[in-house]
Amino acid sequence: MRVSGAAASGLQATLELRRGQVEAALRRTVGSGRAPRVSAAIEDSLFAPAKRLRPILALLVADVLRGEPESVLPAACAIEMVHTASLILDDLPSMDDAALRRGRPTCHVVHGEATAILAAFALLNRAFELLGEGWTGGPDASVRSGLMRDLAAAIGLDGMIAGQAKDLEMTEKVIDFPTLEFIHSRKTGALFTASAELGAAAARARPAERHAVAAYAKNLGLAFQVVDDLIDVTGDAGAGKDVGQDLKKTTFVSFSGVAGAQQLARELVAASIESLREFGPKADPLRELANYVVTRTK
Binding site for its own copies (CB under 8 A): 31-35, 37-39, 85, 89, 92, 94-95, 112-115, 117-118, 120-122, 124-126, 128-129, 131-134, 140-142, 144-146, 148-149, 152-153, 155-159, 161-162, 164-166, 168-169, 182
Which residue lies nearer to its own copies by CB, 46 or 253? 46
Instruction: State the nearest-atom distance from the C-beta of 60 to its own copies, in Å.
Output: 24
d(CA 107, CA 118): 11
Which residue lies nearer to its own copies by CB, 118 or 212? 118
Instruction: State the nearest-atom distance from the C-beta of 153 to its own copies, in Å.
Output: 7
